[in-house]
Structure 1
Amino acid sequence: MGLLQQLSAVLGGGQRRQHQEDLLTSLLVMAWMVEARDPYTGGHLWRVSRFSRLLAEKIGLPAGEVARIAIGAFLHDLGKVSIPDHILGKKDRLTDDEFAVIKTHPEVGWRMLAGHPLAVLAEAAIRAHHETPDGRGYPRGLAGEAVPLDARIVGICDAFDAMTSTRPYRRGMPIAKALEIIRENLGRQFDRAFGEVFVALGEAGELDHIVGHTDEGIPLYDCVMCGPTLVRRRTQGAGDHVYCHACTGVYVLAEQAGGLTAVQAGRTASPAELEPEADTDLIAQVVRDSARALLN
């Protein structure tokens, strides 16, 4: 039974489209809340999903497969909910034991999702995005063509975003350097054919509008203490507040030539202000794009 037939069997009837969107929304909200635990990964899921969509489209996959891969990319780190905060946010090099804990997140994510009606959409991306062509990845040591197509795409995009994003222990590297690292590891860490296409996209500047952004046309803003940790939603404008979840600093969005900037408010955020809240507008857009391609 094909993917669309499986979805039809699960959803059925005239309510199929709305049920599909509700189910997808529940998954993406859950993933967004997991991401919100780490103040240095704001926008990571959106960026990896967008990179993955671009790459899947560029290699000529059908619209339904592109949509499935974009959803899997948004959900790929679901299992990080089980990683303790002191490991997830550690500023120094991880010990072998700590890295062993990190390596559990693909299977944890899959166990969390396995009972969901739409689990089939994201299994490959969640379970295998850290598998590599040379068989040295985790958690199962898959190699070559045994690594699912979705995972080969998401793995490249996940690594690229990690390299170009700022972390507590380092600044994000330039796009050109990250692309060169991918090029140097084709056939080992990264699928050769897909990696070559991704590098070409990057060298053509087609990834620039995603790197360092949290939504279409919305860049991360800088906290003066912590770097690019401030996330603005598409519904926010001048006078609204954004918060650094690393140092609890409060910033006010202000108009400047060419757009908005974030200005220190001179206080720290309250616990209520720091409570995570899913970006429902962003998630709704991802859902609309994907559901349309999967069901039409």
Structure 2
Amino acid sequence: MDVVTLGPDEIRSAVSMPAAIDAVRNGFLALRRGEFEMPTRTVLRDGGFLVMSAHHRPTASAMIKTLSLDFDRDPAIVGTVVWSELGHSRQLVADAIEVTRIRTGAISGVATDLLAPPEAKTCTLIGAGGQAADQVRAVHAVRPLTELRIVSRGLERAEALGKALRAELGIDTALVADADEAVRDVDIVCCATTSTTPLFSLASLAEHVHVNAIGSYRPTMRELPDELLADATVVIDEREAILEESGEIIHALAAGAITEADLIELGTALAEGVVKREGRTVFKSVGVAMQDWTIAGLLAQTCLGREK
């Protein structure tokens, strides 16, 4: 068996953010068409270990990702992504940290392109951890930003992130201590934290704002207030995963702030154009294996010479 192993630098060289956004968008359309076999991910040790898998029937290709998560460790996420195809003996093994960062950024890019006003150009990023930079890269790819505000408990890390993004993307960046103040009057908000309580109040948001929330992935985590979910158009990545894992959605449903009928899956929104860019919009993601399959597929195209 021939195994091609890719580290972070090789992954970054092979996959651009615009390509990742296009691949994830097409992946969600394929998911809606029923092309994937995708079990709900296995969660062990209350989220300490995750196993995710996806099989794409038309191409007889599969991806399996294993992760360990420890937010007291640096890096917090460690794991591997394995890509396999029937009919081919070569396998691809890629660093899961980089794949996860790119695919999580890419889905926010897809949602932002769908839901944010076309003229949107200002953004607040809450959180400066490993997922943060790709949230900004993806948003900037679909809505070129002129201003970025960063909120983080880790001042040194936030300063380094702001400096790096300013140099890379040419965006004016500023650190803001208070989240409610930081989200005021901006066009887009990206939440990438492990918070267990809402990060800001509904009253602090502009009347026409798009919010991406990708940080919480367990029922005990929560980045958004019930009032925002009740007020906004809410788009989610995948219903079964969201109802099992999203603390925001679970809490809002239990409180009666929203009903399951209020939740629109991203694939449906993309295929049917059922969402209008008006008022407040929210995209909530806990991540599904198909996203990792899309990035692994791009890597396979480049490094194994495969057609996806």
Give the shorter-chain TM-score range: 0.3 to 0.5
| TM-score, normalised via structure 1 length | 0.33
Question: TM-score under structure 2 normalisation?
Answer: 0.32
Structure (1/2) with the larger strand percentage: 2
